[in-house]
Amino acid sequence: MSIGENVLDFRLLAASKTYCQTGFPYFGTNPTKQYFLCQTLKLFPNTPNTKFNHNKVEPNLKKGYVEIGVCGLSCKLCPAYHRETKSRCEGCKSEYRMGAVCQFHTCAVKKKGVDFCGLCDENNVCARWRKFREAGKHHDSFVCYQRLEDNIAFIQRFGMEEFENQQGTREKLLRAILTEFNEGRSKSFFCIAAAVLEIGELESVLENAREKSKRLDIKAKSQVMHSLLNEIADNRNYFLKLRR
């Protein structure tokens, strides 16, 4: 079975039992990726095979905050959002992504008309969302989940608009880092850093990296940025890797 460019998220892969039963055709023999897929699959035991609808989403479906996931993740800090190819994801509630079978989308957006599970009246008793959050405390997909609980608490306290503004600031800093310091192999690392570090720390690192990397080539500039980010991570006990 070939998945191709339609798959944009491990969570979509996890929704299909077929992928687990046919030897992980997308992931090959990578044991850590297989482990995460099986662990996430447990969250969706009754979900049918993932199917994609390339037609437009129902015109009467109201979707706000396209770049904020229903679960509370920020699409603006996801590597798939920053692709420069046709497979670029425009956000979890974009037309393309809403055309895929996802229990969170179906329940929250399509059935209940809410943009975020944490604003649902049943969020405190929803077993599916609780299991997803518990998994996010220990594991990531190709996007960092380390800030998931902080994101949820922030949205519930200050609202979606304020969260979108905050993430817009992070995205602006991330884009600057990707434009000026990505040598072609650091996108995932920089996305994780943009999600984990405080905004003030990102601003300081960017300014410092620019000063230290004047007249350097892109490879050397990337090394400078890596060094500064890792230094802060060591001092603040941040983890700048995807957790498998």
At 238 the pLDDT is 96
- The yes-or-no verdict on residue 201 having pLDDT over 80 is yes
> Partners of 132 in the beta sheet?
none
What percentage of residues in the chain have a pLDDT greater than 70?
74
At 100 the pLDDT is 73
Those residues with Cβ within 8 angstroms of residue 156's Cβ, 6 or more apart along the chain or in another chain? 118, 119
pTM of the model: 0.74
> Partners of 68 in the beta sheet?
74
Q: Output the average pLDDT for the chain.
A: 79
CA-based nearest residue to 37, from 139, 159, 175: 139
Q: pLDDT class for 63, splitting at 50, 70, 90?
A: low
| Spatial separation of the C-alpha atoms in residues 190 and 242, rounded to whole Å | 12
Higher pLDDT, 35 or 18: 35
CB 177 within 8 A of CB 204: no
- Tell me what the mean pLDDT of segment 77-101 comes to: 87
CB-hemisphere CA count at 13 Å for 230?
8
- Tell me what the mean pLDDT of segment 125-131 comes to: 92
CB atoms within 10 A of CB 155: 23
Higher pLDDT, 223 or 69: 223
| Spatial separation of the C-alpha atoms in residues 137 and 220, rounded to whole Å | 34
The model's pLDDT over 91-127, given as tens digits with 9 standing for 90+, comes to: 888 887 777 777 888 888 888 888 899 989 999 999 9
What are the distances in angstroms from CA 170 to CA 62, 159, 176, 187? 26, 17, 10, 14
Q: pLDDT class for 40, splitting at 50, 70, 90?
A: very low
